[in-house]
Amino acid sequence: MTVRPSRLAAFAGILALLLLIPQIVPVLYVNVISRAAVYGILALSMNVLVGYAGQASLGHAAFLGVGAFASGYALSELGMPFGAAVVVAAIVGMVAALVLGGVALRVSGLYLALVTIAFGLFAQETLFNIRFLTGGGAGQVAPRPSLFQGDVAYTYLCLGVLLLVLIFDWRLVASRPGRAIQALRDDERVAASWGINVTGHKLMAFVISGAIAGIGGALFASIEQIVSKEDFGLSLSITFLLMTVVGGAGNRWGVVQGGILFAVLPTILDRTHANFHVFPFTGLTATWEPAIGAILLLLTLTLFPGGIAQQQGALLSWLGGGPFKRDHDAQGAAQGGGMGARP
């Protein structure tokens, strides 16, 4: 692939925008940008599972939470450095995914969705209430690393990690296991007939997804520098699913935009921070934001299975090295990824 100057300029522009945003956003909202970066990471985590492997998790908030509490515990109780705490969070997320997926994926994708729902509820009611690990109702403290103490500096850290996860995602898709995962999404029988271990690769996708969610959790914990179990309800899990599908399951640029959209939506709808952690099922205060998300989801699934990515087809094709033209053949497939209609 030859990188033309215009395309290079576009990438430079995106990078400059990312670097500028934390500087120009009012201080009050800088943490919203950090949250958007974390949601972008979570969207990529969901995308590995939903977009590439064609499976769904309805309990990803629990993986975020597991990573957040693991990191918080490592930082404040064990006195680990931030980098080590992120690694701990990633490993804990992987192990949780390995255990749940190892049991559920032997049966079918539907059961993985069920097990993740049950895991989400268990995490919220049991795991995150264990006082010595999570601080119970008081919450677990998760200090920021000394180099990234300020809100703006921490935002750059979150954006930097998002970039790293994007690069990993790009490599994964082009790798042998990444291709095998996408092959089984399209047709498990064909993948098996080519000698691809179907269950093993589904499990691999789930474990990778768990690790990325764990990393996202570690970053999430240090945004407000304290986490409590109220942050990780069932509706947040559904929100993660919404932003992946609305963004365009299977397309990394689409899902990241979906993540950012859902992270800033509450702020746009209500410029006070009061509604920030509020979601239904946990039932605190009312807000219309989840309803908007749900309607976007239903519109996406029924009318535009490719999501935001499908709308930007031409632009994304050009950024990816192709012509500035919507790839019609690819629409239901590469871009509609895990959620598109099956022929």
Q: Give me the least distance between CB of 162 and another protein, in Å please.
A: 18
Q: Give me the least distance between CB of 27 and another protein, in Å please.
A: 31
For another protein, the closer of residues 146 and 193 by Cβ is 193
State both tokens at 321: 């090295």
Q: Give me the least distance between CB of 7 and another protein, in Å please.
A: 20
Phi-psi region of 144 (alpha: psi -120 to 50; beta: other; left: phi over 0): beta
Q: Give me the least distance between CB of 40 and another protein, in Å please.
A: 20
> Where do we find the tokens 């689409």?
254
For another protein, the closer of residues 24 and 174 by Cβ is 174
Task: Please state the φ and ψ torsions of residue 286, each to the nearest 5 degrees.
Answer: -90, 145
Q: How far apart are CA 286 and CA 299, in angstroms?
A: 23
For another protein, the closer of residues 22 and 290 by Cβ is 290
Task: Please state the φ and ψ torsions of residue 140, each to the nearest 5 degrees.
Answer: -105, 135
Residue 227: strand pairing partners: 140
Q: Which residues of 301-310 are buried (b: 16+ CB within 10 A; e: fewer)?
A: beebbbbbbb
Nearest partner of 165 among 261, 41, 331, 306, judged by Cα: 41
Q: Name the E strands within 89-208.
A: 140-141
Q: How far apart are CA 204 and CA 217, in angstroms?
A: 20
For another protein, the closer of residues 32 and 46 by Cβ is 46
Q: Give me the least distance between CB of 284 and another protein, in Å please.
A: 6
Q: Give me the least distance between CB of 257 and another protein, in Å please.
A: 19
Task: Please state the φ and ψ torsions of residue 145, each to the nearest 5 degrees.
Answer: -70, 155
Q: Give me the least distance between CB of 64 and another protein, in Å please.
A: 17
Task: Please state the φ and ψ torsions of residue 126, each to the nearest 5 degrees.
Answer: -110, -65
Are the C-beta atoms of 316 and 254 separated by less than 8 Å? yes
For another protein, the closer of residues 8 and 190 by Cβ is 190
For another protein, the closer of residues 23 and 285 by Cβ is 285
C-alpha separations of 161 from 87, 144, 172, 186, 257 in Å:
13, 14, 16, 30, 16
Q: Give me the least distance between CB of 15 and another protein, in Å please.
A: 22
For another protein, the closer of residues 78 and 167 by Cβ is 167
For another protein, the closer of residues 22 and 178 by Cβ is 178
